[in-house]
Structure 1
Amino acid sequence: MNRTDRLYALVEELRACAPRRLAARELAARYEVSVRTIERDIGALQQAGVPIFADVGRGGGYTLDKSRTLPPLNFTPAEAVAVAITLSRAGGSPYSRSARTALHKIVAAMSADDGASARELAARIRFLAPAGNDDAASVPAVLEEAVLIRRVVRLTYVDRTGTETERDVEPVTFTASDKGWYLTAWCRMRGGCRIFRTDRVRRAALLEETAPDRSTESMHDDIPSDYVVRPLEFV
């Protein structure tokens, strides 16, 4: 059994036995590898976002939280690769750091054969980019969290003239255009809606205050008239 198949089998084994714990020695004997190999495999799965927990001491072992994992999925290899292509083109978008974890979870929940076929197909996909072209700047994680949990943020922001200001804002939406990603927020310094380019945010700090619930419709006044705002479709 190769490592990819073993990782998939470990997840399914732990899911089937949960909440009972399985010892590393027991798993090593089952898959005919060393205890150290099992420990490395478990570590790799944990880094990929699989919720495996270890209990040390007598009677300890590994257990998996079934409520936070997916059962085997009927994704075809082509569907999984289509998701991977979409995620790989989302560099610099909000929550892009979560995309890789999501993809690991999808592939881990596929059958071993389909997962292997998806990896083989993915190896035949290429992206062409200009030499020296840097990846898009990531949206600050603080802004992602602020929109998710509705919290006020203190921004240090540089405008188009190079002027740096510090202000408290109430994040409402992320908006994408052909020029990059923007944070639409209520600016307390200006007393109105403002749109901030995320790549001009120098520092961002999450405050303890909960942001008021503001209508997204009232946040589109600064959008150029030749643009149309479309919401993200999620089915």
Structure 2
Amino acid sequence: MNRTDRLYAIVEELRAVTPRPRSARWLAGRFEVSTRTVERDISALQQAGVPIWAEPGRAGGYVLDAARTLPPVNVTPAEAVAMAVALHRLAGTPFAGPAGTALRKVLAVLPPAAAEAAHDLAGRVHLVGTGPATPVPALVADALTARRVLRLRYADQRGATTVRDVEPLGFLGTPVHWYLVAWCRLRDELRAFRTDRMTSVTALAEVAPHRALDPDDLDIPRERFRQVSLV
């Protein structure tokens, strides 16, 4: 069992027996790790905002405050990333810290596969500043999770229109515009498409092949953009 799976399993084990405690020794036996590893895992969960308390004494152990935590929730990876993007707009406000804690609580109770998918998706979203507030077409917004090849009718800065089949790879948000970063089959290279210049979007039946997106390919100095983070 990897660490992400174990953290999730510890929370659910404590939830199942609350308000009774589970000792570090019991949890270590349950997950076949050392008590020191359990203590480190509990500390990581506490730092992430999961309300786990230590009860002293021979019958003591760790207790989850079920009234202040969430059961497994049906938050999709895209929804988790949407929360993270929204948090970037709270930077510097009195609510940035509590909002970050709230997101970590949601992530702590996501099934491991969903949490892993959310982290992968977040790694494909980059912001310059806090990102724009302009709307994005629904098909484009769903492009990365749907993994469908998109057919765009796209107008360039001179107004000339072309039809392109593209493989979505990520999003870039500047202070003014959203861009879909994609592999353009017409040009046979990586391109960034401004979403407000897409005059029509169609999702094709074809599943896009996996391609890695290297931030260096965005041709923007690293100090100017931030990758969206879920932690």
Please state if 1:53 is matched with 2:46.
Answer: no
CA displacement, residues 166-225 of structure 1 (integer Å, 9 cap, x when unaligned): xxxxxxxxxxxxxxxxxxxxxxxxxxxxxxxxxxxxxxxxxxxxxxxxxxxxxxxxxxxx
Residue type of the alignment partner of 2:74: N
Structure 2 residue matching 1:102: 3-state secondary structure: helix
Structure 2 residue matching 1:127: 3-state secondary structure: strand
Structure 2 residue matching 1:93: 3-state secondary structure: coil
Please identify the structure whose Cα radius of gyration is greater.
1
**CA separation in 2, counterparts of 1:10 and 1:86?**
29
Note the 1:1-235 alignment, pairs <5 A. Answer: 1-129=1-129
CA displacement, residues 28-87 of structure 1 (integer Å, 9 cap, x when unaligned): 111111100100110111111111010122111111010100111101100111111111
For these two proteins, the number of residue pairs brought into alignment is 130
**CA separation in 2, counterparts of 1:4 and 1:123?**
17
Structure 2 residue matching 1:37: 3-state secondary structure: helix
| Residue in structure 2 matched with residue 162 of structure 1 by the alignment | none
Structure 2 residue matching 1:16: 3-state secondary structure: helix
**CA separation in 2, counterparts of 1:91 and 1:44?**
23
Residue 105 (structure 1) shift: 0.5
Residue type of the alignment partner of 2:104: H
**CA separation in 2, counterparts of 1:119 and 1:48?**
16
Structure 2: 5+ residue runs without aligned partners?
Answer: 130-231
Residue type of the alignment partner of 1:128: V
Structure 2 residue matching 1:53: 3-state secondary structure: strand
Residue 5 (structure 1) shift: 1.2
**CA separation in 2, counterparts of 1:4 and 1:31?**
13
**CA separation in 1, counterparts of 2:126 and 2:102?**
21
Structure 1 outlier segments of 4+, above 4 Å: none
Relative CO higher for 1 or 2, CA cutoff 8 Å, sep ≥ 6?
2
Residue type of the alignment partner of 1:48: A
Structure 1 residue matching 2:128: 3-state secondary structure: coil
Residue 108 (structure 1) shift: 1.1
